[in-house]
Amino acid sequence: MWKNMGLTGKIVIAMILSIILGLFLNYSGLNGEGSFVNTYVINGFLAIVGTLFVNSLKMLVVPLVLISLICGVCGIGDIRLLGRIGGKTFLIYMMTTALAIATAIGLSMLFGIGKGMTIATEAVFDAQAAPPLIDVFSNIIPSNPISAMANGDMLSIIFFAILIGVSILMVGKPAQGLVQSLELINEVILKMVTIIMNLAPYGVFALLTKAMTELGLDLIWSLLGYMAVMVGALIFHFFITMMIVLKLFSGLSVKTFLVKMREVQIFAFSTASSNATIPITLRTVTKRMGVDNSVASFTVPFGATINMDGGAILQGTATIFIANIYGIDLGITEYLTVILMSVLASIGTAGVPGVGLIMLAMVFTQVGLPIEGIGLILGVDRILDMLRTTVNVSGDAAVTAIVAKSEGKMDLAIYNDPDAGTKDVFDGHIDENSEREFLKVFSDDVMGSEYDGVKRRP
């Protein structure tokens, strides 16, 4: 049964089982500090499996973004069109971020979360300084592109890839062989993504079991109102706001989009990392939705860097929650400041680890809230971060579809085909005929006629 089941079904079953097992281990006390389960199962075996899975995804991010974007620029063939796509993408990302935080503030004020509450916590939040906005823009051009790739500086990688693509276009016909080689490399990397996706059920199980085991149930109850409003804001923003934006600006089927996004959302939820999910998002929008690589290769990594709809919802919800707990009244000026700061912070903290909490510290400082208040919500931030990441990557895909449709860079036959891209899943078997065909080509072209398929003849 498991062998014949589709990948999505396997991932969903793994996710459900991991949540049940994780909460059981937490509630039963089997995960006590120093216990066998805690030491060797949760922080041992499951931690290793989860880390290996996330690292395998991150391993492909830089080469995939670099090669895919170079091919995308060459595929566009028009620098002015690239500029139009970039400008359109940026404006839509900023618009959806503003809508996200406005939704969060509205719902938080409506339900009055935090009023009359007193929460004791030993958690301490050490606020890290976000880089100045001027540094973010000045660092877009990398002084050392190899270092930028090693550090995963996505904006720098995007700039470098675009520069290479433009240069290839300027060289013209002599670079045609190089472009074909890069396109083949891009296909090889996407095949690697397919192989790793086959391991997803096991990676998701390990990651979610560990997360749920470490989540304190008592803490969830004490912060239930805060969590409920944030989850409600996330759900409303994605299923209502973003789907209205998708339908309004593209006319695409919302149902089809939601069905094809399930795997991406599960990956994002389990990894809590937009960057780690880039390979899956790129594969989904190109293979499953029919978006041309010339658009997707730019909009997806760009969105993973600056599109912080989930983070913006954190800013709005947490600001109202902490203000009510400390009895601090916020006026219309403070609310407008929170919205503006969240939109700017989504750019200014691009690519910074722990970006959501850094953005929140910036907002708290600006409106006069105590930064130590962040320590009150740290305990449940892990699970909420998983949900925020899911909304972020879903927004990346929605904007990608909108931009591609508006530029005529989407194959609607693929988008409307429910089975598109589903059969391209590695099952561990490599066709023997393909192996023999490749071996023959390799022996003839590379090793010469003296190669007998095993070793050189003496």
> CA 91, CA 72: separation in Å to the nearest integer?
20
> CA 414, CA 131: separation in Å to the nearest integer?
42
> CA 4, CA 290: separation in Å to the nearest integer?
26
CATH topology of domain 7-447: Proton glutamate symport protein (1.10.3860)
| Rounded (10°) angle between helices 381-406 and 355-367 | 100
pLDDT given at position 457? 43
- Quick check: 130 and 358 in contact, CB under 8 A? yes
pLDDT given at position 210? 86
What are the respective helix, strand and coil percentages of the chain, to the nearest 5? 75, 0, 25
Run of H or E residues at 302: helix 293-306
Q: Exposed, middle or buried, 361 (CB in 10 Å: 0-12/13-18/19+)?
A: buried
Residue 283: alpha-carbon gap to chain centroid: 13
3-state secondary structure (DSSP) of residue 251 = coil
What b/e readout covers 132-147, taking b as 16+ CB neighbours within 10 angstroms?
Answer: eeeebeebeebeebee
Helices assigned H by DSSP within 290-422: 293-306, 309-325, 332-348, 355-367, 381-406, 412-415
Q: How far is residue 185 from each of residues 145, 182, 286, measured CA to CA in Å?
A: 20, 5, 16
What φ, ψ does residue 7 adopt, rounded to 5°?
-60, -40
Q: Can you give the residue ranges of every domain in the chain?
A: 7-447
* pLDDT beneath 70, residues of the chain: 1-4, 117-133, 135-136, 216-220, 222, 345-355, 423-431, 434-435, 438, 441-458
> CA 385, CA 389: separation in Å to the nearest integer?
6
Q: How far apart are the first and last CA of the chain?
A: 51
pLDDT given at position 456? 46
pLDDT given at position 296? 92
- Quick check: 240 and 103 in contact, CB under 8 A? no
Q: Any idea what the Cα angle at residue 164 is, between residues 159 and 168, rounded to 5°? A: 145
**Tokens found for residue 10:** 């396997």
Query: Model confidence over 255-297: pLDDT tens digits?
Result: 999 999 998 998 888 888 888 899 999 999 999 999 999 899 9
pLDDT given at position 458? 44
> CA 236, CA 256: separation in Å to the nearest integer?
19
What φ, ψ does residue 291 adopt, rounded to 5°?
-75, 135
pLDDT given at position 176? 87
